[in-house]
Amino acid sequence: MLGVTGSIGSSDTQGLETDEDPALTAVAAALRGVDPNGDRTARVLRATLDQLYDGVRTGRYRWDDLHKTEKTHCGTLVEINMQREFGFADGEELDFRIAGVDVDCKYSQTDGRWMIPPEAQGEICMVLWANDDESRWKMGVVRAERRLLSDSTNRDAKTTLNRNGRDAIGWIFARGRLAENTLLHLPEGVVDQTMAGKSGAERIRRLCRLVQCRIIRREIVATVAQQADYMKRLRGNGGARGDLRAEGIIILGQYERHRMIARALHLPIPGLGDTVAARVCPALPGENSSVMIDGLFWRLATADDPVVPAPGLPSQ
């Protein structure tokens, strides 16, 4: 797909009352069949937002930082990335052909404001919404019948669903969770302090000092480092993992032995491309929430624990 991981699908889906529209029922069933938990769609939406931010080159991580043309292009990118991920055939008149039915793909950053073009009126629309501030997304299907559309149109003759139209949406995923945009949810002072580092290496060190015990996705590392070889800034040989050992900080990655350490310390489990930083201190053998690393037992440090150099981590 897009090489993006760490996204979370929806654990809550809602039934679709589409018995009177067999085509709509078939499309909904096909979408559920290819993505039962919503994980794949969640990854597409997360990846599309990260693609627009282009953090490694721009340092951006907020929707409001995008130019108007970029925001307008988001719907097109969602359509392209959904087709790449799921391999939907081209529609005869609309975007996709799913279960033998033409389907138009509509994305809106504002919940409920999907723009329906003339050619999609009376046809089935897949509607998608995501919000980085809330770390949420939705996907549903609706047949855009004339009675379900607003009377007003824009200069392109596009219109929106009216209240009845929004109520008629069959939600396949009504409360999907989007992988967190970590920088967006940190106190502003923490982000400012992190980004004030004069080099990519220094900014990554600051990130691992200030943002601990939570998942840091690969795209966040890229945005902070703003360097082509951004993941190198996390490694042990000349990167933050080695540089911060003296401060008692371990940096866990996607390796299985790192994931075992994270589980034992009750930290979030890093997935592909993820990082979790934490300060540790020596523990007694068998102490609760402790783990053996490099021949000794360690636990998460508290503010009262003295700083002790961290153990060396397994390389994989």
> Do 32 and 136 lie in a common domain?
yes
Q: How far is CA 257 from CA 77, 252, 253, 254, 289, in A?
A: 37, 9, 9, 9, 16
CATH of the domain at 144: 3.40.600.10
- List alpha helices for the chain, DSSP H: 22-34, 39-53, 55-58, 68-86, 163-167, 188-195, 200-210, 218-225, 240-243, 256-264
Q: Is the dihedral of CA 211, 71, 118, 153 positive or negative?
A: positive
Would you say residue 229 lies in a domain?
yes
Classify residue 166 as left (phi > 0), alpha (psi -120 to 50) or beta.
Answer: alpha
Query: How far apart (Å, rounded) are the C-alpha atoms in residues 186 and 135?
Result: 13
Q: Is residue 313 part of a domain?
A: no
Q: Which amino acid is at 6?
A: G
In terms of domains, do 260 and 277 share one? yes
Residues 146 and 191 in one domain: no
* Total structural domains within the chain: 2
Instruction: Provide the pLDDT for residue 4.
Output: 31
Tokens of 278: 């934490």
pLDDT for residue 19: 59
Q: What distance in Å separates the CA atoms of residue 23 and residue 102, rounded to the nearest whole number? A: 10
Range of the domain at 253: 182-300
Looking at the domain assignment, is residue 222 inside a domain? yes
Last residue of a domain, one of 177, 194, 215: 177
H helix or E strand, kind and range, residue 139: strand 136-143
Please give the helix or strand (H or E) that residue 284 lies within, else none.
none
Who contacts 147 (Cβ-Cβ below 8 Å, separation ≥6)? 164
Residue 309 in any domain: the answer is no
C-beta separation of 190 from 222 below 8 A: no
Q: Which of 177, 212, 245 is the last residue of a domain?
A: 177
pLDDT in tens, 165-220: 999 999 999 999 999 999 999 998 999 999 999 999 999 999 999 999 999 999 99
Give residue 238's pLDDT: 80
Percent residues over pLDDT 90 in the chain: 86
In a domain, 310, yes or no: no
- CA 98 from chain center: how many Å? 25
What average pLDDT does the chain have? 92
Residue 171 shares a structural domain with residue 201? no
Enter the tokens of residue 204. Answer: 């990554």
pLDDT at 286: 82
pLDDT band at 119 (very low <50, low <70, confident <90, very high): very high
The whole-model pTM stands at: 0.89
Domain assignment present for residue 6? The answer is no
What is the DSSP code (8-state) at residue 236? T
Domain identity same for 261 and 140: no
Domain co-membership, 166 together with 279: no
What per-residue confidence (pLDDT) applies to 316?
A: 67
Q: Do 196 and 173 reside in the same domain of the chain? A: no
What is the model's pLDDT at position 251?
97
Q: How confident is the model at residue 237 (pLDDT cuts 50, 70, 90)?
A: confident
Tell me, yes or no, whether 72 lies in a domain.
yes
User: If pLDDT is split at 50, 70 and 90, which confidence band does 15 have?
Assistant: very low
- Residue 195 maps to which CATH number? 1.10.10.10
